[in-house]
Structure 1
Amino acid sequence: MNKIIILLISVVMMGCGNDPKQKESAGSQELQETHEHHETAETSPPSKTLSPYTSAMAMIGDAHIHIDYSSPSVRERIIFGGLVGYNTVWQAGAHKATWIETDKNLIIDGKALPQGKYGIFVIPGKEQWEVMFNTRWDQHGKDDYNETENVLSLSVKPVELQEIQESLKYEVIKTNGNSGVITMAWEKVKIEIPFQVGK
Structure 2
Amino acid sequence: MISNNWWRLLVVLVVPMAISGCYRPEYPSKFISSDLKEFESYQKKCASRPSPPARSLTTFGDIDVFITYSQPAVKGRTIWGDLVPYNKVWRTGANEATVLSSTGDILVNGDTLLAGNYALYTIPTKDKWTVILNTKYEVWGAYDYDQSMDVLRFEVEPMTAEEASERMTFDIDASGTVQFSWDKLKFDFLVMPL
Give the TM-score normalised by the residue count of structure 2.
0.73
Query: How far, CA to CA, are the matches of 1:150 and 1:76 in structure 2?
Result: 34
Structure 1 residues 59-114: Cα deviation after superposition (integer angstroms, max 9, x where no partner): 13432012111101000011111100011100011011011110111112321111
Partner of residue 183, structure 1: 179
Structure 1 residues 156-187: Cα deviation after superposition (integer angstroms, max 9, x where no partner): 01111122100010111122xxxx11111101
Query: How far, CA to CA, are the matches of 1:68 and 1:142 in structure 2?
Result: 15
What is the CA distance between 1:124 and its match in structure 2? 0.6
Structure 1 residues 117-144: Cα deviation after superposition (integer angstroms, max 9, x where no partner): 1100000111100000000111011111
Partner of residue 193, structure 2: 197
What is the CA distance between 1:145 and its match in structure 2? 0.2
Q: Report matched runs for 1:15-26 at 5 Å.
A: none
Unaligned runs of 5+ in 1: 1-46
The 1:75/1:115 distance shift into structure 2, 3 A limit, reads: same
| Corresponding letter in the other structure for 2:182 | W
Q: Report matched runs for 1:117-156 at 5 Å.
A: 117-156=117-156
**1:82 and 2:82 aligned:** yes
| 3-state DSSP of counterpart to 2:148 | helix
Partner of residue 97, structure 1: 97
| 3-state DSSP of counterpart to 1:89 | coil
The structure with the largest alpha-carbon Rg is 1
Partner of residue 172, structure 2: 172
Higher mean alpha-carbon deviation, 68-77 vs 58-67, is at: 58-67
Partner of residue 24, structure 1: none
| Corresponding letter in the other structure for 2:51 | S
| 3-state DSSP of counterpart to 1:148 | helix
Query: How far, CA to CA, are the matches of 1:113 and 1:181 in structure 2?
Result: 16
Query: How far, CA to CA, are the matches of 2:57 and 2:190 in structure 1?
Result: 15
| 3-state DSSP of counterpart to 1:183 | strand
Query: How far, CA to CA, are the matches of 1:64 and 1:130 in structure 2?
Result: 24
| Corresponding letter in the other structure for 2:63 | A
| Corresponding letter in the other structure for 1:185 | S
| 3-state DSSP of counterpart to 1:142 | coil
Unaligned runs of 5+ in 2: 1-46
What is the CA distance between 1:49 and its match in structure 2? 2.4
- Among the aligned pairs, what percent are the same residue? 31
Give the TM-score normalised by the residue count of structure 1.
0.71
What is the CA distance between 1:56 and its match in structure 2? 1.1
Q: Let me know the Cα RMSD of the aligned residues.
A: 1.4
Partner of residue 57, structure 1: 57
Structure 1 residues 12-55: Cα deviation after superposition (integer angstroms, max 9, x where no partner): xxxxxxxxxxxxxxxxxxxxxxxxxxxxxxxxxxx942111111
| 3-state DSSP of counterpart to 1:153 | strand
Query: How far, CA to CA, are the matches of 1:49 and 1:146 in structure 2?
Result: 27
